[in-house]
Structure 1
């Protein structure tokens, strides 16, 4: 009876945030390391340790995703600096290849924005 309670407590974290590879591993460990014949105190200690480890791993993954989003923001900032050349151009520009280069900057900004958004959605 207590065994079902321990499993439910471990799954509460899973419903609140996306599973990470470490969380999936912890779930498998929980199933293997929690035989029903464990006494209550031992089971509670094990469940607590696994839950704490799971939370630490989730926070580590969240920090990684947050850092990735910041990296994409910095990349966009750098690309915008190059894109500022657009202000010095006119439609009469003789070197038409400059427009293609600037168009590629817009594409790179969009790609980096999508990747940054994806990283934030993982949080």
Structure 2
């Protein structure tokens, strides 16, 4: 697995809002409008956090399925002899990895 961090800065929703907020603060907005902008930014952060949580959950489920497949294939491997005629289990193990 490659853990290389790209040269560009990785921005989270929180860091984006932190960077945007001072810019919005320089704009002359009335109190109601400023509060609506702040509320919108808060909702944006919440939605992005939910999206990221869903993405991590789906990734975890995918990894769980891959691990389960490997365990099943290893169980098959445990049951065969080195002299077995059907060596297709070795091909399935290699393909799963």
Does the TM-score normalized on the shorter chain lie above 0.5?
yes
Higher relative contact order (CA 8 A, sep 6+): 1
Shift of 1:54: 1.0
1:114 corresponding residue in structure 2: none
Alignment of 1:84 onto 2:80: no
Alignment of 1:39 onto 2:22: no
The one of 5, 14, 20 aligned to 1:29: 20
1:49 corresponding residue in structure 2: 40
Superposed CA offset, 1:13-61 (max 9, x none): xxxxxxx622211221112112375332121111001100111111111
The one of 50, 56, 62 aligned to 1:59: 50
Size of the aligned set, in residue pairs, is 79
**Distance in 2 separating the partners of 1:65 and 1:43:** 33
Tell me, yes or no, if the aligned pair for 1:22 and 1:57 is still in contact at 8 Å: yes
Within-5 A mapping of 1:2-17: none
> What's the TM-score once normalised by structure 1's chain length?
0.52
Superposed CA offset, 1:56-80 (max 9, x none): 1111111101110000001001111
Within-5 A mapping of 1:105-116: none
